[in-house]
Chains A and B, each alone.
Chain A
Amino acid sequence: MNAPVLPVRAEAGSTLVEPVLAVQGLTKAFAGTGILRGVDFALAPGQSTALIGANGSGKSTLLRCLVRLVEPTSGGVLMLGQDVGALSPRALRRFRARVGIVWQKHNLVPRLSALSNVIHGAQARMSGPRVWTQALAPAQVRAEAMACLARVGLADRALARVDSLSGGQSQRVAIARMLMQRPEFILADEPDASLDPQTGQEVMELLLGLVRQDGLSLLVISHRLEHTLAFSDRILGLAQGRIALDMPTPAASAGELRRFFDHEAAA
């Protein structure tokens, strides 16, 4: 896939920027049923983009296709300068290390401590038992993991088992694990789901902070319209397996987004 240069909206107006993510004609079918039917979009670096859509519209599938956790049926993904579809298994492992994923269900190892889970984030660049558990980790890895935990405000719970943490704390540990990866791009699949409004807001603030302070790029799925409007620079809407809505967040309103969902539900 050739690197496209697309006009991407920026606050100062339209300008030409090499996108951090370019998706072209992406399709995915399960058992003959098309979930994604030709998705096209490009994202500018250092921006927060919200992906919205009704349940079953293929948002999570799209996120997984971007890093080939689900293999696309056809189409191309150019991400961080890499043609993702052309990567060998070894190169794909190295590429995935550059993309942090925040999962709706956190996906931590429940019997291990917060610190051990965060250390797992180093597994793409280090191997062996030294990154399996905090007890075996080298001092500099432990120190970096503690810094990641401190960034999400959980340094004092480093040795707590993650199954003893609250939902919000657990999601913070997952974000710390993602930080340990040293990612350049963040994909977040409903990171605010199953969290109370206050905790959900704090998690979203944390993610937006990584965009604003560290210059990372963020593509986040959220069903909470107030979060979509408050924590993104751009909104993409997925409907019928295609991008049916693409607008800068300042131009969007809750009513407009609600109408998008209503239209989807009616369809």
Chain B
Amino acid sequence: MSDASLPAPPRFRQIGLPGYVGLLVVGALVVSSLAATAPTMDKLARGLTRLFAPSGLFTQMFPPDFSRIGPISWKLLETLQMAVAGCFLGLIFALPFAILATDRLSPHPLVRTVARAVIALFRTVPDLVWAIIFIIIVGLGPAAGVLAIMVDKIGFAGRFFAEAMEETDPGPQDALRAIGASRLGIIGSAVLPACLPSFTATSLFALEKSVRGSAALGLVGAGGIGVDLKVAFDLFNYDEALAIILMLLALVIAVEQGSGWIRRKLI
């Protein structure tokens, strides 16, 4: 029963001295970071003036040059193929890593720790660095890009797959365990069906991320449209560079729209 004589509770919780010290540290970090690295207004203004000058980058980009639309289209297709292949392989390998990384499904705490560490490593190292590593291993070209996307997606999807599996209702899994089902049986019959909507969403986001990422991988020689983009910039063909950027934009938007449509249909 409520007591009408009780005063209203305070609006905010007292954070105490450690809380204030923490806020001060965070504030000092933000201010010092801005002061050390952010561009000054003066510098920004000079740069923007140069950009729109008669010989500036923006001026030379227009109109975009679509004279090489044929070769560029083939390279775009290669970019999409790299993204699809890398993403597919990454998602396939992400699933076992994710299962081994979950509290409930991992066979041993040591296995879980190792699986989590591998996923964290794959996620933390940027895909451009993976691309450089795979160029050393398999040479220049799309194969290095596919492997870089694959490893990046194991890290990305592995984490989200594991989180989705951790968040599933444990009831059906307990029921199957009580029936005498094997660990694989529990995963196949209870965990995967429950996670299907989340897995689908993650997979489609992974594909979108792969398409965006695969364009950049060409900048270090790992195949795809990025190679042509880099060459266009290196040769000061800014109008052709803009054409490549616009075509890449169209591809990314098409993939995002397509995956969004699939998500709405499936989930």
Partners in one complex: yes
- Take A105-B171, A107-B174, A108-B172 as given contacts and tell me if A97 and B189 are in contact as well, using a CB distance cutoff of 8 Å: no
Other-chain contact of B194, A69, A92, A109, A133 (Cβ < 8 Å): A109
Question: Is A129 positioned at the interface, with any CB of B under 8 Å from its CB?
Answer: yes
Other-chain contact of A123, B171, B181, B193 (Cβ < 8 Å): B181
Question: Is B108 positioned at the interface, with any CB of A under 8 Å from its CB?
Answer: no
Other-chain contact of A107, B171, B181, B193 (Cβ < 8 Å): B171
Are B189 and A96 touching (Cβ within 8 A)? no
Count A/B pairs, Cβ under 8 Å.
79
Other-chain contact of B175, A107, A112, A124 (Cβ < 8 Å): A107
Are B179 and A97 touching (Cβ within 8 A)? yes
Q: State the majority secondary structure of interface residues on B.
A: helix
| Most central of B169, B171, B176, B189 by chain A CB within 10 Å | B189
Are B184 and A124 touching (Cβ within 8 A)? no
Question: Is B182 positioned at the interface, with any CB of A under 8 Å from its CB?
Answer: yes
Q: When chains A and B are docked, how far (Å) is the Cα of A58 from the Cα of B180?
A: 23
What is the size, in residues, of chain A's interface with B at 8 Å between Cβ atoms? Answer: 33
Are A93 and B189 touching (Cβ within 8 A)? no
Question: Which residue from chain A places its CB closest to the CB of B175 in the assembled complex?
Answer: A107
Question: Is A110 positioned at the interface, with any CB of B under 8 Å from its CB?
Answer: yes
Other-chain contact of A124, B172, B174, B181, B196 (Cβ < 8 Å): B181
Nearest CB of chain A from residue B106's CB, rounded to whole Å: 16
| In the complex, chain B residues whose CB is within 8 Å of the CB of A121 | 179
Are A124 and B177 touching (Cβ within 8 A)? no
Q: When chains A and B are docked, how far (Å) is the Cα of A101 from the Cα of B177?
A: 11
| Most central of B171, B181, B184 by chain A CB within 10 Å | B181
Question: Is B260 positioned at the interface, with any CB of A under 8 Å from its CB?
Answer: no
| In the complex, chain B residues whose CB is within 8 Å of the CB of A174 | 175
| In the complex, chain B residues whose CB is within 8 Å of the CB of A238 | none
Question: Is A120 positioned at the interface, with any CB of B under 8 Å from its CB?
Answer: yes
Question: Is B144 positioned at the interface, with any CB of A under 8 Å from its CB?
Answer: no
Nearest CB of chain B from residue A105's CB, rounded to whole Å: 5
Question: Is A132 positioned at the interface, with any CB of B under 8 Å from its CB?
Answer: yes
Are A123 and B190 touching (Cβ within 8 A)? no
| In the complex, chain A residues whose CB is within 8 Å of the CB of B177 | 69, 96
Mark A71-100 against chain B: 1 for CB-CB distance below 8 A, else 0. Answer: 000000000000000000000111111010
Nearest CB of chain A from residue B7's CB, rounded to whole Å: 34
Q: Which 10 A-B pairs give the minimum distances between C-beta atoms?
A: A124-B180, A107-B175, A123-B181, A107-B171, A97-B180, A96-B180, A93-B180, A132-B188, A132-B189, A109-B172
17 more contacts with CB within 8 A, not counting A69-B178, A93-B180, A131-B189, are A92-B180, A95-B180, A96-B177, A101-B175, A101-B178, A109-B190, A111-B194, A111-B196, A120-B176, A120-B189, A123-B179, A123-B180, A123-B181, A123-B182, A127-B184, A133-B189, A133-B193
Q: What are 22 A-to-B residue pairs whose CB atoms are below 8 Å?
A: A69-B178, A92-B180, A93-B181, A94-B180, A95-B180, A103-B171, A105-B171, A107-B171, A107-B175, A109-B189, A109-B193, A111-B193, A120-B189, A120-B190, A123-B182, A123-B185, A124-B180, A128-B184, A128-B185, A131-B185, A174-B175, A177-B179
